[in-house]
Structure 1
């Protein structure tokens, strides 16, 4: 089974920001910054998680999403679940 790469996560995050948003700052350097500091609101996080669920055929419960405050937390959670499912 595949894993969620940093590049793929950032690609999904960029796609959820809309065409008018400046996504040039979404690089690997932001993995540990809170979504709020990245101007990524809760709706955008929900969109990111929904895309990940669809692409990786993975269910992410709301309770898990509530604890995801940084891109790295999303990345780690998803890859742990994918590893468990392998």
Structure 2
């Protein structure tokens, strides 16, 4: 089974919205709010689009909008990947 990892997410966030120079994206940012990382809802929307195209999965819009941290966002993505694999 394929898992979407934190390194995948940070790479796509940087690709779609850039990276705040004052934030260490290489550390454990799993529980750091996206706002503190310098990412707004538009950045997450762009990242979600990239994930859906590259990973060929449809993410639950409500769950994505409720995800406040990378860890919560990863849960949403991996649940969708697991559901696709089970189908």
**TM-score of the aligned structures, taking structure 2 as reference length:** 0.82
Q: CA offset at residue 70 of structure 1?
A: 0.7
- 1:16-35 matches, within 5 Å, as 16-18=16-18, 21-22=20-21, 25-35=24-34
Aligned to 1:11: 11
Point out where structure 1 has 5 or more consecutive residues left out of the alignment.
none
**39 and 24 in structure 1: CA distance in 2 versus 1, 3 angstrom threshold:** closer
Aligned residues: 85
CA distance in 1, matches of 2:56, 2:7: 19
**18 and 10 in structure 1: CA distance in 2 versus 1, 3 angstrom threshold:** closer
Aligned to 1:45: 44
Point out where structure 2 has 5 or more consecutive residues left out of the alignment.
none
- Does residue 78 of structure 1 match 2:77? yes
Name the SS of the counterpart of 2:28 in structure 1: helix
Question: Over residues 60-82 of structure 1, what are the superposed CA-to-partner deviations in whole Å (9 max), with x where a residue is unaligned?
Answer: 13212221111111111111221
**TM-score of the aligned structures, taking structure 1 as reference length:** 0.83
* Contact kept? 1:14, 1:23, Cα under 8 Å: no
